[in-house]
Structures are given as C-alpha cells and as structure tokens.
Amino acid sequence: MTKSLTIKQPDDWHLHLRDGDMLAAVLPDTAQHFGRAIIMPNLVPPVVSTADVLAYQKRIMAALPKGMNFTPLMTAYLTEATDAEDLAKGFQDGVITAVKLYPAGATTNSASGVRDVMAVQPVLEKMAEIGMPLLVHGEVTDSDIDIFDREAVFIDRVLDPLRQRLPQLKIVMEHITTSVAADYVQSGSENLGATITTHHLMINRNHILAGGIRPHYYCLPVAKREEHRLALRALATSGFSRVFLGTDSAPHPDRAKLMACGCAGIYTAPNTMSCLAHVFEEDGALDHLEAFTSINGPKFYGLPISDQTITLTKQDLPMAYPEMITAGDETVTVFDPGVDLFWRVDTLV
C-alpha cells in the first residue's frame, strides 16, 4: 500500500482570491501548496483591462506572506466593450495569461458578462490569431433552461458553434460538471481543454439538497447527479492529457452564504491536495495524480512544468483541518468532503 508519493508541485488553473481582507486571508492557503494559479477577474468592479490586471496583480503580490513563492497568472474579464488591442498587448507583454468569458448572470459578479457571443467575435478572432486562451464558464442563463441542463445546452448552442467558427481558438472549459462535457472535451482537438474542481469530484446534488439545504455545498455550476460525478472522476483519474485541476476555490463570508438568497462558491484551498489524494487512491489511480495536478495544465498553456516537488504522506490518523478561517471581521467555512482525509502535504522541495 502506497504511504508516500512525491509529485511535481501542483498548479491551480482556476482560483478566486477576491481582494482586501479576504485576499490576505486566503492567499496563503493556496501558496503553501501551489506554485501558480489562474486568478479569476470577477471582482467588483471587474478586472477588464491590462491596467486593471496590473493593479490587481500588484495587490496580490503585496498580500503574499514573506517567504512564500507563488506566481499569479492573471486573467481579464471579457465584456462586450472589451478592447481587443489592449488585451493583445497585455498578453504579448506577459501580463495577461488568458481571458475569461462569463455569460451575463451565470455566477458571482457576472453581471458585466457577455450576453451575445457574436458581440465579442472581433475580440475572439484577435485571441485566436495570437494564441491567447479563452476560459469559459460554460452555462446558458436562459430562464426557461433547467439549472441542471445549463452546461449541456451551452455546449450545444454556444461552445460548439464558436469552435466551428474559430477552430484555432484555444479554449478551456472550466469546472465541467457533466458526462456530456467530459465526453465533449475528449472528442475535441488539441486546443480544447477542461478543468475539474475538487468538490465536483467528491459531491453530487444530494449533498446540497438531501435531508435539508446545505448552503456550503452550493456552487455554480451546481453539482449534478451521481452519474455525472462518476464520469468526472473517471476522466480526472484517467491520465487524459487535456484535463487538469482548477479548484474554483471560492471564498465567501459565511453571512453571505447563509442568507435567504445565499451566494455560490466552495472554499477548498486548504484541503484540496488531501481530497485529491483520497479520490485518486480510492479509484486506484495515484499514478495519475501528478498529471492532473502538475503536468497537464502547464503543457496545455505552454508553460514550464515546475522544477519543485511536493511529497504527500498518508498518516494513520485523519487530518485535522479547520472548519473555518477568519478574514477581517468575517468567517469563511472550509469545504467538508464528508470523509476522513489521511493524506497530508509533507514537504516542498
């Protein structure tokens, strides 16, 4: 039985750090394990220009505790008023790594997002020309579409036609949640990738709704049926080269999660690596954990694989993670996977 596993230092290809007190509180939980992370731009106001990106990057680095090494990979928020040339210059200067497409109203702070993809076609054409990745929150927001069907409808109505119009555009389907999306990315070309979150590998919609509403399991895209969770696990643990970890770790103050209209997001940064080791061991795939967390993402983005390593050690007693962290005057609940976790991140070399 494997008790120790050394892998290349992982990266997180989808992360929310927020700003201010929240940024300062959550950044160390990611930086202690992850060398890099794709930083989401859905602040208020959103991070839309190269100047915005530079300012946010500066705030992140100012919040990084002394002695920690971490590289934020910055993104810009796509709007129907986005300046294509500004984004292109930011990308070519190494300031912006990718552009994020939020359908308007799809998730937290997405009101400024895109209502009609054809309205941003010139920007997407420029991105395809220069090799700039597009990261998509893959859901439609039409009121007549069931929330559990939004991802599949997005693929059919928006993503597939977009890929047919611009086959050279590099696209990441972020935080996929269905077998439909899992099948779609596997059937795609080399410029189509996907991220899977920690929590979507561990929970299904029963965790949110069965026996009472549990708001700390509510996220967007919402967790689906068990058959979809199993499809995601099969893909993540398979070693398939175009799927990689994007935690979508999304801290919210508990008071905002517990309101009558609570917000979507699960904070998984502190225990993600323990959760993933548990999942991959359970599925007999520890030999594929490194690919999912540390190799596939850099290869897809054309970035170097880390020359550092971490060691995961399986201990006899369960890990003790805090139930919550503090951020200024607020508390943030840490993801509860519902199972004991025995794998700890032991060393970083």
List Cα–Cα distances, 144 to 105, 201, 237, in angstroms: 14, 28, 35
* Contact (CB, 8 A) for 185 and 243: yes
For residue 310, the surrounding DSSP H or E stretch is strand 309-314
Among this protein's residues, is 248 annotated catalytic?
A: yes
Which of 15, 7, 8 lies closest to 195 in space, CA to CA?
15
Cβ atoms of residues 10 and 305 within 8 Å: no
Burial letters for 101-136: b for 16+ Cβ neighbours within 10 Å, e otherwise?
Answer: bbbeebbbbbebbbeebeebeebbebbbeeebbbbb
CB 69 within 8 A of CB 35: yes
Set 183, 248, 307, 316: catalytic member: 248
Whether a cis peptide bond, with omega within 30° of 0, leads into 161 is no
Distance (Å, whole) CA 251 – CA 231: 26
DSSP per-residue string spanning 74-111: EEEE--TT--HHHHHHHHHTTS--EEEE-BTTSSTT-T
Catalytic residues: 248
